[in-house]
Amino acid sequence: MRDVTVREVLSDRRLAVPVELVSGGGGLDRPVHHPRIQKSGLALAGHFRGVVPTRVQVLGETELSYLETLREDQRGEACRAFFGLGLSVVVITRGVSPDEQLVRAAEASGTALYVVDAATSRTINALHAVLDELLAPTTQLHGVLVDVFGVGLLLLGKSGIGKSECALELVLRGHRLVADDVVRCDWRPPGTVFGAADDLLRHHVEVRGLGILNIKDMFGVTAVRARKRIDVVVRLEEWSETRDYDRLGVEDAHHEILSTPIRMLTVPVRPGRDMGTILEMAARDELLRRAGTYSARNFLERLRTARERSGGPDRPAAEGESVAPPPVAITRPGEPRPGVRRPFPYAPRPCPEASESSALIPDLSGSKEEE
């Protein structure tokens, strides 16, 4: 987690509330270390335990109304003690004009004092959004990130395995490139990892034999995107005859990025395999899993049920029942097997029951002639 300054936080273009600096312009370079704000009501009453100076301190209408109940000398003493904690920044919400004692104490301590013309809850949400962006844990990975059907696929593997070629094939199929070669990952609560491209490499792909290609210029803005959540990690490796790869899809492997486990697939690469189609199928399977459909598990369950009904090895043997297979009936050449109906060349056998029942039906053909 890197350090940011008060200036970076309160001047960030993503801050969705209007802010105004009232006092303490000399403290704009003080650090902010925590991604969550702190309400400092009890600190104004003299209870300083738990106050973290490097957090953004927020004063709302309740805290300011408490200061108004104090005498002027008490108010000045409370403000000086509060700002004497070495705070990084104090933000007043609802556009309330700060008390003169607050302004003086902020100027004397060199603490930046801001006024935000928005409700307290909206101000807190806006500050949290900016702090999450600026203070998020980050790391860099060597790989390719592609958006396939809205699923973020992070392709990993050794250099030259074909990650960039796979990304180019997916872009040709209408999917979107996020990052190639260097993927900058950052963590977001409550436990998701987002990936983006490096500023210099954004929208570019390196293909051996062709060089550097600008995907945005070649395919338009719809073929790229700035950042994407990483949903599945696909590790590409050369095909090995000695390794037993997952052929059913029931093994759940994970790859940790910033201490966050992400589902991982290991896909072997060999000539003749359509990697673009395989990666698209991986994205479709992830969408089915989100909807609660697990194709491999459902297939194995149907297979187990069918074997139980047919008396297969999955069915438990009853008490006293032999587990040996039934004897095989031996037939002579030309004779039909037991239990098998005669094929078409054989004439159907007469049914005595049918002839007897037909004799019981009266013949009514002559009744119409008599009439």
d(CA 114, CA 65): 18
In whole angstroms, give the CA distance from residue 276 to residue 36. 42
Per annotation, catalytic residue among 12, 99, 147, 181: 181
Catalytic site residue 184? Answer: no
> Residue 190, preceding bond cis, omega within 30 degrees?
yes
**How many other CB atoms are there within 10 angstroms of residue 54's CB atom?**
15
Long-range contacts of residues 159-162, Cβ cutoff 8 Å, at least 24 apart: 160/208, 161/236, 161/237, 161/238, 161/269, 162/236, 162/269, 162/275
Contact between 155 and 195 (Cβ < 8 Å): no
The span from the CA of 230 to the CA of 222, in Å, is 19
- Given 47, 142, 243, 273, the catalytic residue: 142
How far apart are the C-alpha atoms of 217 and 234, rounded to whole Å?
27
Catalytic residue among 163, 204, 228, 255: 163
Angle between helices 72-83 and 61-68 (to 10 degrees): 140
Give the span between the Cα atoms of 75 and 57, in whole angstroms.
18
Q: Which of 14, 49, 71, 247 is catalytic?
A: 247
Angular region, 320: left φ>0, alpha ψ -120 to 50, beta rest = left
Whether 181 is a known active-site residue: answer yes
Amino acid present at 299 = F
34 is catalytic: no
Q: Which residues are catalytic?
A: 142, 163, 181, 247
